[in-house]
Structure 1
Amino acid sequence: MNYSEVQKEIRAEIFNTLEQIDDESVEKLLAEIKQADKVFFVGVGRVLLSLQSVAKRLAHLGIKTYVVGQITEPAITDKDLLIVGSGSGESAFPLIIAKKAKQFNARVAHIGANPDCSMKQYSDHFVRIPVATKFNLPNQTPSVQPMTSLFEQTLLLLGDSMALMLVREQDIDMHSLWEHHANLE
């Protein structure tokens, strides 16, 4: 198998998965983001890496974003949103953080693959990325890629799609976004 064949398979999987995400659930998540004073993100492993990219992209749009655990993380309040990335919805750390956020009356949005999971009890909103997780449930789309790569890739592109939706909705001049970009590089 060569690169050309493999990348075509991966692109097809990503395209198919993005097509299956419910528009209304994404629009509702965007409404939650716009309504929030601050938007916090939590996940683990490669999911966290994708969420960090989403947080950074939204920060470029002027949204106050924080990744749980970063040294400058402020207190969460009832005016804020916590976005949890967890394919299975069973990862221990995100569950603990979501429970804690609810104690402060923050809104919680879960982006995951499994709607019937432990995270459900803490989530106000759910966006489903319908791919196979570590539990390999029957209603999930399998992937040729290792482990949960398809979830992490789709999560990143979902975030970039939401950012572009915001740019177009708010008629943001793309060049002006550089004002929010890191400049100590």
Structure 2
Amino acid sequence: MNYRETTKIVIDECYLALSKVEEKQIDMLIDYLFNADKVFFIGVGRVKLELEAFAKRLAHLGIKTHIVGDINEPAMTDKDILVVGSGSGESLVPVAIAKKAKSVGGKIIHIGSNPHSSLAPITDLMVRIPVQTKLYLEDEISSNQPMSSLFEQSLLLLGDIVAKMIVERKQINLKSLWQYHANLE
């Protein structure tokens, strides 16, 4: 298979996955982001990288974001939310952190594929990207890509889609956003 054929497979899979996300869930996610004092993110591996990109983009939009475990992470309060990225909803560290966040009154948003995961009982909102996970659930979208690549790609794109929707809702001038971009580069 050549580059162009492979590109089409990956892009088509991402489009299919993102087209299956319920718009109501995205609207609720944006409402949570608008109403939170601080937004924390937890994920592991490649999912963490995608969440870091999402957090950075939200910071560019004036939302206070933090990655759990970073040296400058503040205390979470009941005015904050934790965004958990986990396709299966069973990754040990994110589940444990979510339980801790819930115990201090934080709201939990799970972006993942498994609606019946260990996170389900404590989740305030699930944004479901119904793609193939390590669990191979019956209603997941299958992928020709290795492991959970489709979930990770969809998560990255979802973050940028949400950011674009926030820009539109707040009628932010795109040129003005450069004031928030890193300038020690």
TM above 0.5, yes or no, is yes
CA distance, structure 2, for counterparts of residue 179 and residue 139 of structure 1: 43
The aligned residue for residue 123 of structure 1 is 123
For residues 95-110 of structure 1, the aligned pairs below 5 Å read: 95-110=95-110
* Paired AA for residue 54 in structure 1: F
Aligned length: 185
* Paired AA for residue 38 in structure 1: K
For residues 35-50 of structure 1, the aligned pairs below 5 Å read: 35-50=35-50
The aligned residue for residue 71 of structure 2 is 71
The aligned residue for residue 30 of structure 2 is 30
Could you tell me how far 1:65 is from its partner in structure 2?
Answer: 0.2
CA distance, structure 2, for counterparts of residue 93 and residue 121 of structure 1: 17
User: Is 2:14 the counterpart of 1:14?
Assistant: yes
The 3-state SS of whatever aligns with 1:127 is strand
The aligned residue for residue 174 of structure 2 is 174
TM normalised by structure 1 equals 0.99
CA distance, structure 2, for counterparts of residue 146 and residue 35 of structure 1: 37
The aligned residue for residue 55 of structure 2 is 55
CA distance, structure 2, for counterparts of residue 11 and residue 95 of structure 1: 30
CA distance, structure 1, for counterparts of residue 61 and residue 160 of structure 2: 11
CA distance, structure 1, for counterparts of residue 134 and residue 165 of structure 2: 31
Identity, % of aligned positions: 54
The 3-state SS of whatever aligns with 1:118 is coil
The aligned residue for residue 133 of structure 1 is 133
Could you tell me how far 1:122 is from its partner in structure 2?
Answer: 1.7
Stretches of structure 2 lacking an aligned partner (at least 5 in a row):
none
Could you tell me how far 1:52 is from its partner in structure 2?
Answer: 0.3
The aligned residue for residue 87 of structure 2 is 87
Could you tell me how far 1:131 is from its partner in structure 2?
Answer: 0.2
* Paired AA for residue 141 in structure 1: I
Could you tell me how far 1:95 is from its partner in structure 2?
Answer: 0.5
CA distance, structure 2, for counterparts of residue 107 and residue 126 of structure 1: 11
The 3-state SS of whatever aligns with 2:119 is helix
The aligned residue for residue 184 of structure 2 is 184
CA distance, structure 1, for counterparts of residue 3 and residue 67 of structure 2: 34
The 3-state SS of whatever aligns with 1:40 is strand
CA distance, structure 2, for counterparts of residue 102 and residue 141 of structure 1: 30
RMSD: 0.5
Moved over 6 A (4+): none
Could you tell me how far 1:133 is from its partner in structure 2?
Answer: 0.2
TM normalised by structure 2 equals 0.99
